[in-house]
Amino acid sequence: MGKLKIGVIGAGSISDMHFQSYQKNNEVEIYAICDMNEQRAQEKTNKYGAEKYYTHYKNLLEDPQVDAVSICTWNNSHAEISIAALKAGKHVLIEKPLCKTVEEAHQIEEAVKESGKVLQVGFVRRFGTNTEVLKKFIDSDELGEIYYAKASCIRPLGNPGGWFADKERSGGGPLIDLGVHVIDLCWYLMGKPKVKSISGNTYSKLGNRSNIKNLSFYKAADYDPDYNTVEDMANAIIRFENGASLMIDVSFTLHAKKEEFAVSLYGDKGGAEIEPELLLVTEKNDTILNAQPQIDSLSFDFNKGFQSEIDHFVSCCLGERETISPVQDGVEMMKILCGIYESSETGAEVQFDEDVEVKQ
Ligand SMILES: NC(=O)c1ccc[n+]([C@@H]2O[C@H](COP(=O)([O-])OP(=O)(O)OC[C@H]3O[C@@H](n4cnc5c(N)ncnc54)[C@H](O)[C@@H]3O)[C@@H](O)[C@H]2O)c1
């Protein structure tokens, strides 16, 4: 059997992680690249040795040689492109967040069912070694019943601007960009409990703080210091049907002392910190133990995480396994993210049950 032919749609920053990981996978060939910015499409085609490049995703999807695609475009095109790719008979790896709304998420879910193709949502943190190691401990019941989790992803100064700061293209600010990773990480490790209610708040008090001098931060290619339509920060408490709860706060800008990235889980037999460093907390012989595994990287290793995500996707496309990051999880995550925005807008708790879902 020949190699799986890959198309990458959206050739910006994160696409490099996809390209580099595909390059190291022997089962695939980077075959085609698409970006509406022709220069970028051309540059990446030369850099990664693809055969073809396109400036419209529809042309790439019409190419019968393409077996699978990575979609690395802005969030506003995720639904449209992934549905078109599935309809064209391609397997899909879609960058996070799955899309912008719950309605779109359901449409993608329907397209996956109809096509019978693989769709994997890019929850890359699930593929970090620290997460994989902890998952084994959780599966062997070392933490017992996990009833509480907490995640913070705080930047005092770090609104990347460009499309990230444009609600139309991104769907939101730090919640949809950073929150999606940490909420999913907790939810996945908690065993994907069903959401019961959400109370959330978003604030737009500081803007992007582009006035700040002498402190550098990542800026998107199309950074504009005067444009920002997304929230500065968000917080939420999410209650699950099994009684467990999850508390999060995330920011692009906040009067905080320093950056903070912390994710913890607490069970009735033990606890764990995943970030900033993997650590297990337990009790033995009436003594509390902090146990630190000896592994290469105690925090998320970007390169290894992406390699593992791409290798898993390829293996799913080859029919060797089912994805651990299916479309249904993307739908649940969109319900949570949109639920937080809705609760913030209405100033009230959003309730979920079998029949009633958050409106868009
Ligand atoms: N998994 C992660 O850790 C991670 C990190 C960063 C970004 N992302 C996600 O990756 C996606 C892209 O982010 P980025 O930082 O690479 O952005 P980027 O702006 O650097 O790149 C996006 C590229 O997509 C192209 N594009 C946009 N819409 C298109 C369309 N309809 N057709 C063809 N090309 C189109 C743009 O021209 C641009 O070159 C986003 O969904 C983002 O949330 C994920």
**Spatial separation of the C-alpha atoms in residues 105 and 344, rounded to whole Å:** 21
Q: Give the ligand 1 atom nearest the CA of 163.
A: 19
| DSSP codes, 210-234 | TT--S------TT--TT---S-SEE
Q: Is the pLDDT of residue 1 over 80?
A: no
Q: Does residue 10 sit in the same domain as residue 121?
A: yes
18 close to ligand 1 (CB < 6 Angstrom): no
10 close to ligand 1 (CB < 6 Angstrom): yes
| DSSP codes, 107-158 | HHHHHHHHH---EEEE-GGGGSHHHHHHHHHHHTTSS-SEEEEEEEEE-SB-
Q: Does residue 340 sit in the same domain as residue 319?
A: no
Distance (angstroms) between ligand 1 centre and the Cα of 74 equals 4
230, 173 Cβ separation under 8 angstroms: yes
Q: For 150-166, what is the mean pLDDT?
A: 97
Protein residue closest via CA to atom 19 of ligand 1: 12
Does a structural domain hold residue 286? no
Residues pairing with 91 in the sheet: 68
Pick the closest to residue 129 from 324, 295, 271 (CA basis): 295
Q: Does residue 21 sit in the same domain as residue 118?
A: yes
Name the more confident of 355 and 7.
Answer: 7
**Spatial separation of the C-alpha atoms in residues 281 and 143, rounded to whole Å:** 9
pLDDT of residue 222: 86
Position 353 confidence tier, pLDDT thresholds 50, 70, 90: confident
Stretch (H or E) spanning 249: strand 245-251
**Spatial separation of the C-alpha atoms in residues 181 and 190, rounded to whole Å:** 14
Q: What totals of helices (H) and strands (E) does the chain contain, helices first?
A: 11, 15
pLDDT tens for 58-74 read: 999 999 999 999 999 99
Q: Does residue 20 sit in the same domain as residue 85?
A: yes
Burial of 139 (0-12, 13-18, 19+ CB in 10 A): exposed
Question: What is the average pLDDT score of the chain?
Answer: 96
Q: What is the pTM of this model?
A: 0.96
Q: Does residue 108 sit in the same domain as residue 180?
A: no
Q: For 38-44, what is the mean pLDDT?
A: 98
Does a structural domain hold residue 42? yes
Q: Give the ligand 1 atom nearest the CA of 176.
A: 43
Q: Which residue reads 């390059």 in tokens?
A: 23
Q: Does residue 106 sit in the same domain as residue 14?
A: yes
341 close to ligand 1 (CB < 6 Angstrom): no
Mutate to test the pocket of ligand 1, among 14, 80, 125 (most ligand atoms within 8 A of CB): 14
How many domains does the structure of the chain reveal? 2
3-class SS at 177? Answer: helix
Q: Does residue 235 sit in the same domain as residue 204?
A: yes
Q: Does residue 66 sit in the same domain as residue 207?
A: no
Position 103 confidence tier, pLDDT thresholds 50, 70, 90: very high
Q: Is the pLDDT of residue 317 over 90?
A: yes
Task: Give the neighbor-by-neighbor strand order of the sheet with 4-9.
Answer: 52-54, 28-34, 4-9, 68-71, 91-95, 119-122
- In CATH, what number is assigned to the domain containing residue 246? 3.30.360.10
Position 44 confidence tier, pLDDT thresholds 50, 70, 90: very high
Strand ranges inside 58-97, DSSP E:
68-71, 91-95
Distance (angstroms) between ligand 1 centre and the Cα of 72 equals 4
Q: Is the pLDDT of residue 23 over 70?
A: yes
CA neighbours within 13 Å on the CB side: how many for 78?
32
Pick the closest to residue 19 from 73, 70, 94 (CA basis): 70
Does a structural domain hold residue 117? yes
Q: Is the pLDDT of residue 155 over 90?
A: yes
pLDDT tens for 124-143 read: 999 999 999 999 999 999 99
Does a structural domain hold residue 136? no
3-class SS at 224? Answer: coil
Does a structural domain hold residue 225? yes
Does a structural domain hold residue 65? yes
270, 280 Cβ separation under 8 angstroms: yes
Going by the DSSP 8-state scheme, the letter that residue 253 receives in this structure is: B
Q: Does residue 209 sit in the same domain as residue 342?
A: yes
Q: Does residue 245 sit in the same domain as residue 319?
A: no
236 close to ligand 1 (CB < 6 Angstrom): no
Distance (angstroms) between ligand 1 centre and the Cα of 185 equals 21
Distance (angstroms) between ligand 1 centre and the Cα of 170 equals 10
Q: Residue 114 corresponds to which amino acid? A: E
**Spatial separation of the C-alpha atoms in residues 303 and 294, rounded to whole Å:** 19
Does a structural domain hold residue 164? yes
pLDDT tens for 171-205 read: 999 999 999 999 999 999 999 999 999 999 999 99
Q: Is the pLDDT of residue 319 over 80?
A: yes
Q: Does residue 84 sit in the same domain as residue 60?
A: yes
Domain that holds residue 94: 4-125+307-323
Mutate to test the pocket of ligand 1, among 33, 74, 81, 180 (most ligand atoms within 8 A of CB): 74
36 close to ligand 1 (CB < 6 Angstrom): yes
3-class SS at 307? Answer: helix
Q: For 85-98, what is the mean pLDDT?
A: 98
pLDDT tens for 201-256 read: 999 999 999 999 999 999 988 899 999 999 999 999 999 999 999 999 999 999 99
Residues of the chain with pLDDT > 90, as a percent, come to 96
- In CATH, what number is assigned to the domain containing residue 312? 3.40.50.720
223 close to ligand 1 (CB < 6 Angstrom): no
Q: Does residue 244 sit in the same domain as residue 168?
A: yes
Does a structural domain hold residue 273? no
pLDDT of residue 354: 66
